[in-house]
Amino acid sequence: MSQVLLVRHGQASWGAEDYDVLSERGVEQSAVLGAALAARGVEPTVLVSGAMRRHHQTAAAAVEAAGWDVEVTTDEGWNEFDHLQVLSRHPAPAGVDVMSSPGVFQRWFAEATTRWTGGVHDTDYTEPFAVFTARVEAALARAATAVADGGTAVVFTSGGPMGWAATSALEGDGALWLRLNQVTVNTGVTKLINGTRGITLLSVNEHSHLSPDAVTYR
């Protein structure tokens, strides 16, 4: 039996001109994760990263802290969906600085992603939700195949792909994905195993390696 550990990237640069860079806290979260996984005896046979900078930076900090001597390969299938495009297709609340109002932003984000997952407006998006989910499922299948002989794959990705991998394993739908995607913790770990029954979900968003004051969602 093999296992696939999906890791969400550390905290990125929320509100900055370039979001796709880890914050100082994000680097710290990633190092704490790597040390914690190594302390638990996790010895990956395969390391995979999405193609985004926050994925590579998370992988680099975690691998260094863990002391793993395994090459990190890149799989674009683990990239996050284009949240900026998804947001742009749904009007932001008028008269409010959404970037300075977390609650307002969260409502806008929820409404925009609900529109995206609904399927009615697929032609508005470069990557419709069904294409995104198929991409993630294919990436998960590749990771599981890479460790089919009983190894461990650690995959550095984003909340959207993590959420869909869990949703797919539970045979859920877009509504379940929306709920999971809203609460994914930076450097949280979702664990799946691959055995005779196929891919099975064991845990979601595990983040006991983080102290309470180090838990972030954006």
CATH of the domain at 152: 3.40.50.1240
d(CA 81, CA 67) in angstroms, rounded, equals 31
Give the C-alpha distances (Å, rounded to integers) separating 213 from 25, 51, 210, 216: 11, 29, 8, 8
Q: Is residue 150 part of a domain?
A: yes
d(CA 193, CA 161) in angstroms, rounded, equals 17
Q: Is residue 117 part of a domain?
A: no
Give the C-alpha distances (Å, rounded to integers) separating 78 from 30, 133, 161, 162, 164: 17, 10, 6, 9, 11
Q: 104 vs 53, which has greater pLDDT?
A: 53
Q: Is residue 110 part of a domain?
A: no
Task: Report the domain count for the chain.
Answer: 1
The pLDDT, as a whole number, for residue 43 is 96
Q: Is residue 94 part of a domain?
A: no
Q: Is residue 99 part of a domain?
A: no
Tokens of 30: 């990633």
Q: Is-contact 152 3, C-beta < 8 A?
A: yes
Q: 54 vs 149, which has greater pLDDT?
A: 54
Q: Is residue 121 part of a domain?
A: no
| Mean pLDDT score across all residues of the chain | 94
Instruction: Map residue 50 onto helix, strand or coil.
Output: coil
Residue 140 neighbours by CB under 8 Å, 6+ apart: 4, 165, 168, 192, 199
Give the C-alpha distances (Å, rounded to integers) separating 81 from 38, 113, 159, 207: 30, 10, 9, 23
**Local confidence band at 196 (pLDDT 50, 70, 90 cut-offs):** confident
Mean per-residue pLDDT for 7-30? 88
Q: Is residue 171 part of a domain?
A: yes
Give the domain range for residue 197.
2-81+127-209
Residue 166: burial class (beta carbons within 10 Å; 0-12, 13-18, 19+): buried
Mean per-residue pLDDT for 202-208? 97
Q: Is residue 105 part of a domain?
A: no
Whether residue 16 has pLDDT greater than 80:
no
| Tens-place pLDDT, residues 78-96 | 999 999 999 999 988 876 6
Which residue shows structure tokens 């045979």?
Answer: 171
